[in-house]
Amino acid sequence: MFRLTRLPRNQLLNPLFAKRFLSYTIAEAYSAKPRPPHQQSKPPAGENRPPTGEDAFFHVSLSKTDSPDSYTYNSAAFGVTDGVGGWAEMGVNSSDFSYYLCHESSNLAVEKAKELEKEPSTAEKPLASLISPKQLLVNAYDKIVREKTVKAGGSTACIGVAGQDGQVAVANLGDSGFMVFRNGKLAGGSKAQTHAFNTPYQLAIIPEELKRSDERQGLRHIEDTPAMADQFSFTAEPGDVIVLATDGLTDNMSAQDTLKIVNETMLEHGSWIKDDKEGIKSSGEHKGAMDLARRIVLKAKSLSTNKQHLSPFAKEVQQVMKVHYMGGKPDDITVLVVIVNE
């Protein structure tokens, strides 16, 4: 039985300990939206960023026993972020803020894990109760603002922490998000946080001179805070598939569309099997994370340019604007697939 708990915004995961020994295989796939040369985001010299457009992602081990060359972790932090593209019109690199949110969240998670290793009293508590993804987001944002790493920009974020005991915690702000698939079914996930149509909650860094200028014109910017993120917790089971994605996926594919690809891929790889009595269930062989991530991204990319596709974005346009609209929404697409192993 799957139970996804949405926690109050100021509450942490209940620190109960369960002696389980799970691991997590994590793979990413992405496709940047085509842009004219003058709109393409370029990283600063010397930085090696993947070509994700205005999206970013990370996944990192939080266990000293993990191999540095492996993408299977005994415990891990992971996340996706989506830079707000409108800043590009003001000459701001829209990818910077999303990139540094991931960069700082990753570093802070590793630092916290190392601190916890020195405290024996924490050994029998769930990692997800000790390293809060919401607090990672708070601290990452505060550090970027404090150190002025980014001068301006905005971003959504979805960050998770998973421990060897199977406890998983996720914080989500905006319209990036996550889904959990178990035994051939959609078990749960986040809902988009939006102020209005096509206006997600978003973290922002707004220069003071821009604020003053806009205030004189009666304009206001969205300035959401990490404290506004929804937070969730659940207990993972072997064979679970957790998908984190930016809205390049969810605007073009429904959860059921994604479920179809998850089922096909997991069955093809033998990670899930069909049982006459129990239906689809875990086989104990948990392979195919990279293939699954790529398949999801390729399908979303294909549907984003299909003008006959009744996408989730098209449905929302029809509902809000009261007009006939068909087609997907070309956008950067970034997907993390997390497969739970025993």
Looking at the 3D structure of the chain, how many domains does it have?
Answer: 1
| pLDDT score at 45 | 56
Burial (CB < 10 A; 0-12, 13-18, 19+), residue 43, is middle
Q: Is the pLDDT of residue 17 over 50?
A: no
Q: Is 9 inside any structural domain? A: no
- The candidate with the shortest Cα–Cα distance to 328, out of 156, 308, 46, is 308
Q: How confident is the model at residue 123 (pLDDT cuts 50, 70, 90)?
A: low
- The candidate with the shortest Cα–Cα distance to 159, out of 236, 78, 250, is 78
| pLDDT score at 90 | 76
Q: Is the pLDDT of residue 185 over 90?
A: yes
Q: Is 29 inside any structural domain? A: yes
CA distance 54 to 169: 25
Q: Is the pLDDT of residue 283 over 90?
A: yes
The domain in which residue 178 lies consists of: 20-35+48-341
pLDDT in tens, 205-260: 998 887 777 777 877 778 899 999 999 999 999 999 999 999 999 999 999 999 99
Mean pLDDT, all residues of the chain: 90
Burial (CB < 10 A; 0-12, 13-18, 19+), residue 40, is middle
Q: Is 2 inside any structural domain? A: no
End-to-end CA distance of the chain: 18
Q: Could you tell me the pTM of the whole model?
A: 0.92
The amino acid sitting at 144 is I
| pLDDT score at 129 | 82
Q: Is the pLDDT of residue 13 over 50?
A: no
- The candidate with the shortest Cα–Cα distance to 293, out of 342, 240, 334, 340, is 334
H helix or E strand, kind and range, residue 26: strand 23-31
Average pLDDT over residues 24-52: 83
Q: Is 4 inside any structural domain? A: no
Share of the chain above pLDDT 90, in %: 72
Q: Is 10 inside any structural domain? A: no
CATH number at residue 266: 3.60.40.10
DSSP helix/strand/coil, 180: strand
Average pLDDT over residues 326-339: 98
Average pLDDT over residues 177-186: 98
Average pLDDT over residues 148-155: 93
Q: How many CB atoms lie within 10 A of CB 223?
A: 12
